[in-house]
C-alpha cells in the first residue's frame, strides 16, 4: 500500500510537542521540513548535546534542550534521529524513564525496533518513518516541492492512533507527497542488512576479481579504474535503471553490449549466490546473529587507528590489487581529478 498526502491528517499534530533527538543528517532535514509544513516553532524542541549540531539548530531558530530528560518529559512525539548504535543506550537510560505513557516514538530505521533493543511501554505508540534518502535530499526535495521515497509503519499501537500519527508525521516531513510505502521494521531491517551484507559485498568482490583478471591480461590501472567506475558509468546505469527500468535501461547501450549482458546473465547459474544470500538473510540477519556480534564490537568503533575494527577492514580492503592501483591512479591523475 502507498499512502499519499490525502491519507494523512496534519490536524492530529495540533498542540503536540514534537522533540527531535539529534540534529544530524536526518534530524536537521526532518525538523526543518516539519516546521515548514506549519508545525509552530514553539512546539518543536531539538534535544542535542551542546556542540556544533546544537549550534546549527539554534542558528536555524529551533529551541534547543541539552538535558535529554527534560526534553523527553515534554514530548508527545519524539523522533529518534541519533545513530542507530547509540540509540539503545541513550533511549533506555535518558529518554524512556521520562517519556509520557502515551508518547509516540518515531524511528527512521527498523534496526533497534526489530531487534527489540529499545525499552518501550505497551501504552506507547512506536512508528517507523524511514526516508530512503540522505538527509540533504530529504530537505532539498521538500524545498523544491517534491516528495521522496519513504517507508512507514506502525510497530506498536498503544493509543489506537499509531498509524494515523505515522501518516501525519510522514506528511509533515514531506514523505507522502510522492507516496510513502507501507512497510515494517522487519522488512526494512531485512532489506537494509541484506543489501549491506549480501548484495554489496558480492558486488565489491566481483569488481575486485574482475580488476585482477583484466590487470593480469595487460590492462592498465588507469584504463581499468576509468572503465570500471571512475567514469561514473555505473552511476549512470543505475540512474537509468531507476528511470527506465532495471532491464530496459540496457536499450541505451550498444547492440553488442545488450546482447552480451542479457545473454551472459541468463546463462549464469545463480544457485550458489542464492544459497549464499539465503544463508546471510536467515542465519545472520533475521535470527539476530549479526546484531549480537556487532553489539560486541560497537564500543571499539569509537576508537582511533588499529584499535578500531572498521579501520582494519579498510586497511585490508585497500590492500587489494584494485585498492592499490586506484591509489596510484589517483596520485598520478590528481590534477585531472581536481578539475
The least CB distance from residue 80 to ligand NDP, in Å, is 7
167 binds ligand NDP (CB under 6 A): no
Cell triple for 184: 515494517
The residue (of 193 and 224) whose beta carbon lies closer to ligand NDP is: 193
Contact status, residue 227 vs residue 322, Cβ threshold 8 Å: no
| Nearest distance from C-beta of residue 312 to ligand NDP, angstroms | 22
The binder of ligand NDP chosen from 2, 93, 101, 134 (CB under 6 A): 134
Spatial CA neighbour of 89 closest among 284, 310, 295: 295
User: Please, what is the minimum distance in Å from the beta carbon of residue 164 to ligand NDP?
Assistant: 22
Among 3, 12, 13, 22, binds ligand NDP (CB under 6 A): 22
143 Cβ contact list (under 8 Å, min separation 6): none
Residue 23 contacts residue 172 (beta carbons within 8 Å) = no
Longest dimension (CA), the chain: 68
Instruction: Annotate each residue in 178-197 with x if it binds ligand NDP (CB under 6 A) or - if it does not, as one string.
Output: --------------------
Sign of the C-alpha dihedral computed for residues 327, 134, 54 and 79 taken in this order: negative
Cβ(80)–Cβ(108) below 8 Å: yes
- Applying CB under 6 A, does 27 fall inside the site for ligand NDP? yes
Shortest separation between residue 92's beta carbon and ligand NDP, angstroms: 12
- Assess 49 for contact with ligand NDP (CB under 6 A): yes
Q: Rule CB under 6 A: is residue 86 a binding residue for ligand NDP?
A: yes
| HEC secondary structure over 14-55 | CCCCEEEECCCHHHHHHHHHHHHCCCCHHHEEEECCCCHHHH
**310 is a contact residue toward ligand NDP (CB under 6 A):** no
Element (H, E) at 295: helix 289-297
Told to check if 110 binds ligand NDP by CB under 6 A, we report no
Instruction: Supply 236's cell numbers.
Output: 549512470
Bridge partners, residue 180, by sequence: 3, 150
Could you tell me the three cell numbers for 84?
A: 542507530
Neighbours of 172 (CB within 10 A): 24
Minimum CB separation from ligand NDP for residue 226, in Å? 28
Near ligand NDP by CB under 6 A: residue from 64, 75, 77, 82: 82
Looking at 19-27, 177-185, 291-299, 315-323, which segment touches ligand NDP (CB under 6 A)?
Answer: 19-27
Please report whether residue 51 would count as binding ligand NDP according to CB under 6 A.
yes
**Is residue 84 at the binding interface for ligand NDP, with CB under 6 A as the rule?**
yes
Residues of span 279-308 touching ligand NDP by CB under 6 A: none
> For the CA atoms of 188, 54, 171, 92, what is the dihedral angle to 10 degrees?
50
Report 229-268 residues binding ligand NDP (CB under 6 A): none
Q: How far is the CB of 121 from ligand NDP (least distance, A)?
A: 21
Closer to ligand NDP by CB, 52 or 252: give it.
Answer: 52
Q: 38 vs 97, which CB is nearer to ligand NDP?
A: 97
Comparing CA positions, the residue from 46, 56, 37, 48 lying closest to residue 17 is: 46
Asked if residue 53 binds ligand NDP (CB under 6 A), the reply is: yes
- In the complex, the smallest distance separating the C-beta of residue 90 from ligand NDP, rounded to whole angstroms, is 5
Residue range at the interface with ligand NDP (CB under 6 A); choices 3-11, 43-51, 207-215, 325-333: 43-51
Rule CB under 6 A: say whether 209 interacts with ligand NDP.
Answer: no
The residue to which cell 503536540 is assigned: 16
Q: At what angle do helices 25-36 and 52-59 cross, to 10 degrees?
A: 20
H/E stretch holding 259? helix 255-267
Query: Please, are residues 115 and 190 in contact by the beta-carbon 8 Å criterion?
Result: no
Residues within the interface to ligand NDP (CB under 6 A)? 22-27, 48-49, 51, 53, 81-84, 86, 90, 108-109, 130-131, 134-135
Amino acid at each position: 500500500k502507498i499512502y499519499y498526502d490525502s491519507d494523512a491528517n496534519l490536524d492530529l499534530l495540533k498542540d503536540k510537542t514534537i522533540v527531535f533527538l539529534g540534529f544530524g543528517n536526518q534530524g536537521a532535514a526532518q525538523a526543518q521540513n516539519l516546521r515548514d509544513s506549519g508545525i509552530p516553532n514553539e512546539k518543536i524542541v531539538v534535544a542535542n548535546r551542546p556542540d556544533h549540531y546544537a549550534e546549527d539548530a539554534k542558528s536555524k531558530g529551533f529551541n534547543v534542550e541539552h538535558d535529554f530528560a527534560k526534553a523527553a518529559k515534554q514530548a508527545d512525539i519524539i523522533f529518534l534521529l541519533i545513530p542507530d548504535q547509540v540509540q539503545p543506550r541513550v533511549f533506555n537510560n535518558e529518554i524512556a524513564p521520562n517519556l509520557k505513557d502515551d508518547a509516540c516514538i518515531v524511528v527512521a530505521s527498523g534496526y533497534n525496533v526489530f531487534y527489540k533493543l529499545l525499552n518501550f511501554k505497551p501504552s506507547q505508540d512506536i512508528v517507523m518513518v524511514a526516508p530512503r534518502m540522505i538527509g540533504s535530499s530529504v530537505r532539498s526535495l521538500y524545498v523544491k516541492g517534491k516528495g521522496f521515497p519513504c517507508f512507514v509503519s506502525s510497530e506498536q499501537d498503544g493509543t489506537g492512533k499509531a498509524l494515523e500519527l505515522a501518516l501525519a508525521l510522514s506528511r509533515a516531513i514531506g514523505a507522502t507527497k510522492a507516496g510513502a510505502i507501507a512497510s515494517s521494521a522487519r522488512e526494512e531491517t531485512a532489506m537494509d542488512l541484506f543489501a549491506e551484507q549480501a548484495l554489496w559485498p558480492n558486488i565489491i568482490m566481483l569488481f575486485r576479481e574482475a580488476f585482477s583478471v583484466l590487470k593480469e591480461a595487460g590492462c592498465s590501472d588507469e584504463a581499468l579504474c576509468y572503465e570500471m567506475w571512475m567514469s561514473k558509468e555505473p552511476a549512470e546505469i543505475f540512474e537509468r535503471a531507476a528511470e527506465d527500468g532495471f532491464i530496459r535501461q540496457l536499450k541505451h547501450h550498444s547492440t553488442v553490449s545488450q546482447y552480451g549482458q542479457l545473454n551472459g546473465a541468463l546463462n549464469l547459474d545463480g544457485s550458489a549466490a542464492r544459497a549464499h544470500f539465503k544463508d546471510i538473510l536467515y542465519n545472520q540477519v533475521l535470527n539476530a546473529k549479526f546484531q549480537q556480534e556487532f553489539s560486541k564490537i560497537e564500543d571499539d568503533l569509537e576508537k582511533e587507528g588499529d584499535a578500531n575494527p572498521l579501520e582494519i577492514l579498510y586497511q585490508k580492503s585497500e590492500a587489494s590489487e584494485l585498492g592499490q592501483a586506484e591509489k596510484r591512479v589517483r596520485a598520478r591523475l590528481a590534477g585531472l581529478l581536481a578539475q
